[in-house]
Amino acid sequence: MQDKFNELKSILAEVHDLNRASSVLGWDQNTYMPRGGAEARGNQLGTLGKISHQMFTAEKVGKLLDELKDAFPSESDEAAMIRVTRRDYDKATLVPSEFVVEQAQVTTAAHEGWMEARQKSDFSIFEPHLAKVLDLTKRYIEFFPKADHPYDTLFDNFEPGMKTAEVQAIFAELRKKQVRLLQAIAEKKQVDDSFLHKKYPEAKQKVFGEKVITAFGFNPNVNRQDKAPHPFCTSFGINDVRITTRYNEKFLNTAIFGSMHETGHALYDGGFHPSMERTPLANGASLGVHESQSRMWENLVGRSFAFWEHFYPELQKTFPTQLGNVKLGAFYKGINKVEPSLIRVEADEATYNMHIMLRLEIEIAMVEGSVALKDLPALWNSKMKEYLGVTPPNDALGVLQDIHWSFGGIGYFSTYSLGNLISAQLWEKINSEITDLSDQIRNGKFDALLGWLRANVHVHGCKYEPQELVQKVTGSKIDPAPYLRYLETKFSDIYGL
């Protein structure tokens, strides 16, 4: 059976190479590709996607999977690879190769349309592209057996094994308690964050941000950071993981915390066991688990008081005019200010999940066909008013702010909130085992934290489904309680609740 396993592994390695080559093209499209290259890039991605899809869905692969079904112990990496491949194969064989090509071409054009629409703050430019993306999405759902809800088919691509109803139940509990917390905070005196909105030159932000992520474990030998309209992380292999960030010279938080966030993704992608390279296991357990890593480094580490005890003197030295007279305590409160805002990626921890709940409801309405695309800006604005009490002044700060619909990522957004919940569960477990973690962070030491994550989360790749992994590591499935405890403790201290 080992020969058959090696044969399967060889085929999957070549499929993996093609998919990573597509990732290189996608990275280039977001960073350096001239705008005029969009049509050619769409064709290139379509061709690679078609070849990859045909290789992966070949009858030979299905036959090998059948023959290897019970060939290895259930807990072995070999058995896990066969399980994951079987799941992906069964889904991929339901989707025609021609659809894969069309999807690549449509989403490449949609991305360019989104960038132009966002730049001009005009949703009507993106609307026809989104119509094509949504049509593809609905056609994709039709390829699969009927689910409890059509959105389940999409959600399963990002959170294997989880259902829309599960997430809605988690969100219902979360919403109720977070609204109470936000109401309590609103009754208190607001903290001052005016010093974050001064002039912060991009070049200096870049130098400071690179010092921070290097301390986290971002390694120039295997990692790279560039600029893009929307921050993202992409992997071409365990030893080539890249991130992007964006800078706002009028708001300090954007690049610093954006880089921390994407570094969390990069550390995960670089932490899979080397034996998983060029196999289907060289992926995160789910996007929710992936987001738990990025949100942990961004928030639980990067927005902690202990972190800034170490890094704030360096930041003051970098920006003496802006921060020289701002005390550490005031800075800490400022970067953690709770205030309903327009932009998801810049939202504070207490309001962030409300942005996600809004998007989930809108996406479900899009899939169900209960909202016309031309009405999305108005719907978005009304829900922002309902959920957060603010109304976007234009499309760029509203319905066009996120990149996800342009690349067909309908079903993605919930993973951000799930990541918040998982990060807090992991954090409680980590602190019970690394009892001096706060002191280590206070001293700018992150080796033990990264080592724990490597050993308990990263090394498994996608060997386990998300709920299974969280249960294995923390002792329970995804649970909002640790995250709510974290929020209440942190903001009670900041706002004197």
Residues assigned a catalytic role:
262
Our measurement of the distance from residue 411's CA atom to the centroid of its chain's CA atoms, rounded to an integer in Å, reads 12
Q: Which of 85, 412, 438, 441 is nearest to 280 (CA)?
A: 85
- Cβ neighbors of 97 (< 8 A, separation 6 or more) are 50, 53, 54, 57
Edge-to-edge order in the sheet of strand 240-245:
223-227, 240-245, 233-237
